[in-house]
Amino acid sequence: MNPLSVIRVGICGLGTVGQGVWKHLERIRPELESRLGVKLELTRASVRDLKKRRDVKVPASKLTTDSLSIAMDPNVDIVCELIGGTTLARQVTLAALTAGKVVVSANKALISKHGAEIFEAARRHGGHFLFEASVAGGIPIIKALREGLVANRFPLIYGILNGTCNYILTQMEEQDAPYTAVLGEAKRLGYAEADEALDVQGWDTAHKAAVLTFLAHGTWVKPEQMIVEGIDRITPIDFKNASALGYGIKLLAVIARDFDTDELSVRVHPTLLPESHVVAKVSGVFNAVSVRGDVAGTTLYIGRGAGQDATASAVISDLVDAISLLKNDRRAFITARKASAPARPVRACRLAPSEHIRGRYYLRMTVSDEPGVLAQIAAAMAAKNVSIASVIQSAQEPAGAASLVLTTHQSDERAIQATLSRLARLRCVLERPLLLRIGDFAD
């Protein structure tokens, strides 16, 4: 370990976020050094291609293609893992923690998949793992859960955790444009990846929900254990229908716990939110997270959820905490000491069975435009004790077809899924029904 008056930082991965961290650290380094009472050195950075042109100027002598060499370098005190993925990133993280270093990461997929192993390595070898940038970009939601709201239990956390999806949904609504057209524009503007599946199918949000679930409830829920649905089947007509019912549509992560039964549910899906709800008004690439605590009540966090500067801001926040840890006393630094623990000690919980996950639902179907169809559908729903609250019906192409939109009274996931299966078998239902949840979040 270097003398504590000098803190040396290595950055593994000099992509968009890594360059942002390097750029802003260089810009504010004098101020940080004065505030923290240390000398800060950006020692090395790893890249895939040494010859690639970058927006930041990094001396060639500080670049390497060997990320593991940075993780194991005894002269590096803090390792920023900004590689992405879960293979090399895992190797780098475990190597650095095994060496007793502090690791700062923005990698939600890595934490979701290997979090238990990573935190155990940190405990075993005296390292520390900080991950504010892994969820909601520039919004300090992890510190809010771990520090500011430490006195609380959390019956409900929900919000927009993916800026790409929120941008697409916003543009679809405002421009009355189809999903494919808006997706193409999002790719052109750099808001969506070339392979958009991780974002639009909900898996990126699920990874982030897994991190928040662990912090709030001390348990790991894998994405495959969640309800995860994406936005790719939503059409402009759904926004019109939702508006007629007084709602907007957002892709939400919802983490709910009943502390009487200690049952926990974690889900990701497009949700109808009342148009008056603050989260429903969050547009574009912004994120929003609502946290209900049993002591503080509801707190709301809104900000940029992605992008170079927002994510770099969160990484640098963790770097400052890591520097304070190294400069002062590891044992006295509560933020780092608790980095691998939930917000507060909680009782063990179990995943709620589908019949205990209750809510109201929106169903859109393309059906035959003929007498008796609504009666058939109502009978199929009644067979599973799902009752209809409202009906919107309109003619639709091709000729002889109609769009039928139903909302339900309170039901549950088991009943609604059984209803969907039953509806799909009706000859009058011409396409697979679209199911959206209705967000009745009384704050």
- The catalytic residue among 208, 240, 327, 338 is 208
What are the tokens at 170?
């916003």
How far is Cα 265 from Cα 272, in angstroms, rounded to an integer? 18
* C-alpha separations of 289 from 127, 158, 318 in Å: 30, 6, 20
Q: What is the pLDDT of residue 193?
A: 80
Domains of the chain (ranges; CATH) run 6-136+308-337 (3.40.50.720), 141-304 (3.30.360.10), 356-438 (3.30.70.260)
**DSSP 3-state assignment of 258?**
strand
Helix (H, G, I), strand (E, B) or coil at 433: coil
* Full 3-state SS string of 10-29: EEECCCHHHHHHHHHHHHHH
pLDDT at 334 over 50: no
At 319-332, the pLDDT tens digits run 999 998 888 754 43
Amino acid identity, position 361 = Y
Alpha-carbon span 309 to 315, nearest angstrom? 10
Report the Cα 243 to chain-centroid distance in Å: 26
* DSSP helix/strand/coil, 174: helix
CB neighbourhood size of 418 (10 A): 18
- Residue 248 token pair: 């907007």
Candidates 224, 208, 205; CA nearest to 216 is 208
Q: Which residue, among 347, 330, 291, has the nearest Cα to 140 in the 3D structure?
A: 291
Residue type, 338: K
256, 154 contact by CB (below 8 A):
no
- Which are the contacts of 280, defined by CB distance < 8 A and separation ≥ 6? 247, 248, 250, 273, 274
Tell me the pairing of strands 401-408 and 358-368: antiparallel
**pLDDT computed for residue 137 by the predictor:** 81
How many other CB atoms are there within 10 angstroms of residue 90's CB atom?
18
Q: Is 57 a catalytic residue?
A: no
From first CA to last CA, the distance across the chain in angstroms is 49
Q: What is the DSSP letter of 24?
A: H
Question: What is the rounded CA–CA span in Å between residue 1 and residue 434?
Answer: 57
Q: Answer yes or no: are the C-beta atoms of 299 and 149 closer than 8 Å.
A: yes
Q: Residue 65: exposed, middle, or buried by beta-carbon count in 10 A (0-12, 13-18, 19+)?
A: exposed
- 80 vs 46: CA distance, rounded Å: 10
Comparing 135-149, 206-220, 287-301, the range with the smallest average pLDDT is: 135-149
Mean pLDDT, residues 71-87 taken together = 95
Residue 4 clears pLDDT 70, i.e. is over it: no
**Cβ atoms < 10 Å from Cβ of 359:** 18
Residue 26 reports pLDDT greater than 60: yes
3-state DSSP assignment of residue 166? helix
Structure tokens, 15:
């992509």
The whole-number pLDDT of residue 189 equals 84
Nearest Cα to 58, choosing from 27, 99, 19? 19
Lowest mean pLDDT among 38-47, 107-116, 199-208, 434-443: 434-443
Q: Please answer whether residues 295 and 151 qualify as being in contact, where contact means their C-beta atoms are separated by less than 8 angstroms.
A: yes
Burial of residue 331 (CB within 10 Å: 0-12, 13-18, 19+) is exposed
The C-alpha atoms of residue 29 and residue 35 are separated, in whole angstroms, by: 10
**Mean pLDDT of all residues in the chain?**
91
Question: What are the start-end ranges of the H helices in 328-425?
Answer: 334-337, 373-382, 413-424
pLDDT band at residue 398 using 50, 70 and 90 as cut-offs: confident
Residue 333: pLDDT band with limits 50, 70, 90: very low
Average pLDDT on 426-437 reads 96
Q: pLDDT digits over 335-392, tens only? A: 333 444 555 556 789 999 999 999 999 999 999 999 999 999 999 999 999 999 999 9
Give the start-end residues of each E strand in 125-180: 128-130, 156-160
Whether residue 396 has pLDDT greater than 80? no
- Residues forming beta bridges with residue 191, ordered by sequence position: none
